[in-house]
């Protein structure tokens, strides 16, 4: 075992900063950072390819603290290594991402040291790791991105991308199903650049993990196709180094390093107990731990001389050397491969390539039309041909979601250069992996049926928190599935997804709205999008008769109108817009002044100024009817107290589509009837 006094001084600095910060905040998790300090220190000092002065260097190793409750571990590391702050415009400031004052404000309002690591909030944090299992699942996407980037950008003599992805995780991470899904994919793809370091301390909040978690984790991962290594003692720096180097030198499989530790190491009474997990240790226990570390008992937030210097002379100098060598290589690369270099720089800034939209189709009017999943597949293919880093796939549903890029291959073991990803029936991991790809600046999409958004929803929420431009495609969007029945007929899902702050939900009405939806989606840099598509055919509207589909960009637009102020406004989304148009024609023939508003995106409409919103939905017109084959929840905002919503107030049923539409009121006759009722109500 290495006994360099400065190494242990650094390790104990990490431990004591964690203890002091949690104690001062009266909240937090001190035990895991105390146990994991040697693991993280040895990894950062000896192996991690990372330059603290440029923490957005594209070929840096990624470090993910998946057990994010141990956040003081990464905050201590970011502070001691001197990681610089990065602005939202990707410029690096001469200011610490985490200062000592920030550590003293751990878990306080507007501090850069929140309770769990937050991407964007704290420079150097590669992903938001709140819910357990998400961080390791993101790391799979990061590792896939590294391999894909290598396949696309690397050229002989120019290995621009070969970074590794390291994730520290705990028992809770590996209990979560999403981590199992992600590990299964990683094992199938044989990702050689992925290493999870599993802190096996046998403690959970309830007590011993033996209460609920007694499987052999190593054998499980071997069955997934991982290499499994063991370190018997988290304080054994030599054994840790050997395990890390085995991962780096013996490539071919993803690696799980099982490190056995004692939570709260050094605490005289709480070491190895659940009480060291999720609450401050208390002053006396902290003093006892500091005595064991040979630390001044009354010193708080102490960083001894030589600690910051040790991080600089090892990790800092190594990272700077590797980064400057990469930059020199990239300068030569730009001369030989200027087009690829331009693409790489655009990708890093989340900008689009030149000519990205030059092949987007316009569809002729067609009364028979097509399912919007079909037209979306055509638009996606046309877009992807001119958007090289648009990559994605489905949860074993490519024939149904129409999301397979036929001009490219698929990622597979040993060859990760394909742009199609077979996620298998693993919706939750798919969403999390997509977030990992987006964090690596690849532009990713996922696809499944709308009903299964429930499985993907936690990852969608995190993409919103992190402001990632992930694209979540959902087909089979309503009771229009017919015979499949209520288990496959989404009802509350649109309302649920619209409830997530920061997510843009788009439900286009026809083929040309689909094209315009992708025209809106492609340039987004900070907004996750949910694109909701039909299985059943919908007419392609005659745009010489109706307003241009470009109105989709504003979220809602007047599709068909009357002379003067309308008596009633019919609002529809998706397949129900055509139903509104049929009702409009009947009302018009009866002398009623009606207006049809296509409202594919509430969120985009909310972003318009008040004048435009008033123009589309004038406040003077209180007779309004919204029509959508989903839950009515939320529509009251747009129809008002005098309006009505034709929607779902129950689950669906198994029957042919025509029977379902009749049963649940999605008929021209019912829309006209309800329109007349709200017109009468508005007069009162």
Would you give the end-to-end CA distance of the chain in angstroms?
86
| 3-class secondary structure per residue, 472-521 | EEEECCCHHHHHHCCCCCCCCHHHHHHCCCCCEEECCCCHHHHHHHHHHH
Q: Which residue has the tokens 């992903």?
A: 127
Q: Cβ distance 631 to 648 under 8 Å?
A: yes
| 3-class secondary structure per residue, 571-586 | EECCCHHHHHHHHHHH
Burial of 329 (0-12, 13-18, 19+ CB in 10 A): middle
Closest CA to 63 of 90, 36, 87, 93: 36
- Candidates 126, 427, 516, 603; catalytic one: 427
Closest CA to 64 of 114, 117, 10: 117
Q: Which residues are CB-contacts of 260 (< 8 A; sequence separation ≥ 6)?
A: 200, 201, 230, 231, 232, 233, 234
For residues 356 and 559, give the distance between their C-alpha atoms in angstroms, rounded to a whole number: 28
Q: Is the dihedral of CA 61, 66, 71, 72 positive or negative?
A: negative
Q: Is the dihedral of CA 437, 433, 506, 536 positive or negative?
A: positive
Query: Is residue 284 among the annotated active site residues?
Result: no
Q: Which residue has the tokens 């790791």?
A: 129
DSSP letter (8 states) at residue 122:
S
Q: Which residues are CB-contacts of 456 (< 8 A; sequence separation ≥ 6)?
A: 427, 428, 430, 431, 446, 448, 472
Burial of 273 (0-12, 13-18, 19+ CB in 10 A): middle
For residues 434 and 442, give the distance between their C-alpha atoms in angstroms, rounded to a whole number: 9
User: Would you state the structure tokens that stand for residue 413, as one six-digit string?
Assistant: 């073991």
Q: Which residues are CB-contacts of 242 (< 8 A; sequence separation ≥ 6)?
A: none
- How far is Cα of residue 33 from the mean position of the Cα atoms in its chain? 26
Burial of 424 (0-12, 13-18, 19+ CB in 10 A): middle
For residues 16 and 299, give the distance between their C-alpha atoms in angstroms, rounded to a whole number: 9
For residues 96 and 578, give the distance between their C-alpha atoms in angstroms, rounded to a whole number: 56
DSSP letter (8 states) at residue 656:
-
Query: How big is the chain, counted in residues?
Result: 684
Using alpha carbons only, give the angle 431, 432, 436 rounded to the nearest 5 degrees: 120
Partnered with residue 447 across adjacent β-strands are 394, 473
Partnered with residue 504 across adjacent β-strands are 529
User: Would you state the structure tokens that stand for residue 322, as one six-digit string?
Assistant: 């590797």
Indicate the angle between helix axes 453-465 and 134-153, nearest 10 degrees: 80
Q: Cβ distance 443 to 469 under 8 Å?
A: yes
Helix, coil or strand: residue 571:
strand
Burial of 584 (0-12, 13-18, 19+ CB in 10 A): buried
User: Would you state the structure tokens that stand for residue 559, as one six-digit string?
Assistant: 């599709």
Q: Which residue has the tokens 């024609």?
A: 585
Show which residues are catalytic: 427
């Amino acid at each position: 075992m290495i006994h360099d006094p400065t190494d242990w001084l650094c390790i104990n600095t990490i431990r004591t900063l964690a203890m002091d910060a949690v104690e001062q905040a009266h909240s937090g998790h001190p035990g895991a950072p105390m146990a994991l300090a040697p693991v993280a220190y040895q990894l950062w000092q000896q192996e991690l390819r990372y330059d603290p002065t440029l923490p957005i260097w594209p070929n840096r190793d990624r470090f993910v603290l998946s057990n994010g409750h141990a956040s003081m571990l990464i905050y201590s590391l970011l502070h001691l290594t001197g990681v610089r702050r990065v602005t939202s415009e990707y410029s690096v400031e001469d200011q610490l991402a985490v200062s000592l004052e920030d550590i003293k404000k751990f878990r306080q309002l507007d501090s850069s040291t929140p309770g769990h690591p937050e991407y964007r909030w704290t420079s150097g944090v590669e992903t938001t790791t709140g819910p357990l299992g998400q961080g390791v699942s993101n790391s799979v996407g990061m590792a896939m991105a590294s391999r894909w980037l290598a396949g696309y950008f690397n050229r002989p003599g120019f290995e621009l991308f070969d970074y590794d992805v390291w994730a520290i995780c705990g028992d809770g991470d590996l209990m979560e199903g999403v981590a199992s899904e992600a590990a299964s994919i990683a094992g199938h793809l044989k990702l050689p650049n992925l290493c999870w370091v599993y802190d096996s301390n046998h403690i959970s909040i309830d007590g011993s993990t033996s209460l609920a978690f007694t499987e052999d984790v190593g054998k499980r991962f071997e069955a997934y196709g991982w290499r499994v290594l063991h370190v018997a003692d988290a304080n054994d720096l030599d054994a840790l180094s050997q395990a890390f180097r085995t991962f780096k030198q013996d490539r071919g499989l993803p690696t799980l390093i099982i490190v056995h530790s004692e939570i709260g190491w050094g605490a005289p009474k709480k070491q190895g107990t659940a009480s060291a997990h999720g609450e401050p240790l208390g002053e006396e226990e902290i003093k006892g731990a500091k005595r064991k570390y040979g630390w001044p008992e009354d010193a708080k937030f102490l960083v001894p001389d030589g600690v910051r210097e040790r991080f600089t002379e090892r990790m800092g100098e190594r990272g700077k050397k590797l980064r400057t060598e990469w930059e020199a290589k990239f300068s030569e690369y730009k001369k030989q491969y200027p087009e690829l270099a331009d693409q790489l720089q655009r990708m890093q800034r989340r900008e689009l390539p030149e000519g990205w939209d030059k092949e987007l189709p316009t569809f002729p009017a067609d009364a028979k039309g097509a399912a919007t999943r079909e037209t979306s597949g055509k638009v996606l293919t046309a877009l992807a041909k001119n958007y090289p880093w648009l990559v994605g796939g489905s949860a074993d549903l490519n024939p149904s979601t129409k999301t397979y890029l036929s001009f490219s291959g698929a990622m597979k073991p040993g060859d990760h250069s394909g742009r199609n990803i077979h996620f298998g029936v693993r919706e939750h991991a798919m969403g999390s992996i997509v977030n990992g790809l987006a964090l690596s600046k690849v532009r990713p999409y996922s696809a499944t049926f709308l009903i299964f958004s429930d499985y993907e929803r936690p990852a969608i929420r995190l993409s919103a928190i992190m402001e990632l431009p992930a694209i979540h495609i959902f087909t089979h969007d309503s009771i229009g599935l017919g015979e499949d029945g209520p288990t496959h007929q989404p009802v509350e899902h649109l309302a649920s997804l619209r409830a997530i702050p920061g997510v843009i939900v788009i439900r286009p009405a026809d083929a040309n709205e689909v094209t315009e939806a992708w025209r809106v989606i492609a340039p987004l840099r900070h907004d996750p999008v949910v694109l909701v598509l039909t299985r059943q055919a919908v007419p392609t509207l005659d745009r010489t008769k109706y307003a241009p589909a470009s109105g989709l960009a504003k979220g809602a637009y007047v599709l068909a109108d009357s002379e003067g102020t309308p008596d009633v406004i019919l609002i529809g989304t998706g397949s129900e817009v055509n139903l509104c148009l049929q009702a409009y024609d009947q009302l018009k023939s009866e002398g009623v002044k009606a207006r049809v508003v296509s409202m594919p995106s509430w969120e985009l409409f909310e972003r318009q100024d008040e004048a435009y919103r008033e123009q589309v939905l004038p406040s003077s017109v209180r007779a309004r009817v919204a029509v959508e084959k989903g839950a009515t929840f939320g529509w009251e905002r747009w129809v008002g107290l005098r309006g009505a919503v034709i929607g779902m107030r129950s689950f669906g049923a198994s029957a042919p589509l025509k029977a379902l539409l009749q049963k649940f009121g999605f008929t021209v006759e019912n829309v006209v009837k309800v329109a007349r009722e709200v017109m009468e109500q508005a007069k009162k």
